[in-house]
Chain A
Amino acid sequence: GAGVSQSPRYKVTKRGQDVALRCDPISGHVSLYWYRQALGQGPEFLTYFNYEAQQDKSGLPNDRFSAERPEGSISTLTIQRTEQRDSAMYRCASSREGNTEAFFGQGTRLTVV
């Protein structure tokens, strides 16, 4: 596609439920990043993929968070047993190999009630 596409745009879920957030990067972009942005803050790094390999997951807050990118394209960020503190904007970004300029999607606004 023309840009990074994230779905859903908005997700409201009950505490304790699992959610899956999807990111479809720009075609040909081998690097994919997930960030989380709280209100009034800048995006914070969660995890990074190079092709299908998850190179760094040091930013994932705890083991309820996981991500995958099985075919080196679409990525899914999964949050299990959601808690209210998980409420935030989740942003995905992609970039060409070796390129510092990352392109962001519109984000998924997650609200845990």
Chain B
Amino acid sequence: DQQVKQNSPSLSVQEGRISILNCDYTNSMFDYFLWYKKYPAEGPTFLISISSIKDKNEDGRFTVFLNKSAKHLSLHIVPSQPGDSAVYFCAAILGEGSNSGYALNFGKGTSLLVTP
């Protein structure tokens, strides 16, 4: 069963506009959330994260919002640039006490295309 869901397989945005990537989760025990970015032929790379005790984390052009009551998070990229074109994975980590360390539960990914 998919505990982290990214319901949009793809998204196309014009350069300079905002990109909003969405993610929903079902497990209320998730304690930490991350976004990974992946270019073709490369492994995923860490982009930004947020703890469950926060509702917003900002890093430059990237902001992640967390709505715990709705079990929803989103990644905003403003302004979007062509180099942002990649697959974005939402991931979640269970809280302390998990046997699996900080193993990531990934969504299926959203492919973002930023057009000039």
A residues contacting B by CB (< 8 A) are: 4, 31, 33, 35, 40-45, 48, 50, 55-56, 58-59, 91, 93, 95, 99-107
Contact = CB atoms under 8 A, between A and B. Distances in A.
Interface centre among B32, B43, B46 (most CB of A within 10 A): B43
Q: Chain B: interface secondary structure? A: loop
Contacts of A42: 4, 6, 89, 91, 106-109
Contact of B32 (A33, A95, A100, A106): A100
B70 interface: no
Contacts, number: 74
A45 B105 contact: yes
Interface size class, chain B: 20 to 34
Interface of B: 4, 6, 9, 32, 34, 36, 41-46, 49, 89, 91, 93, 99-109
13 contacts: A33-B104, A42-B91, A42-B109, A43-B106, A45-B100, A45-B103, A48-B103, A58-B100, A91-B43, A100-B34, A101-B46, A103-B46, A104-B44
A107 B43 contact: yes
A40 B42 CA distance: 15
B25 to A, nearest CB: 12
Nearest to B90: A42
B100 A104 contact: no
B14 to A, nearest CB: 26
Nearest to A109: B41
A24 B102 CA distance: 19
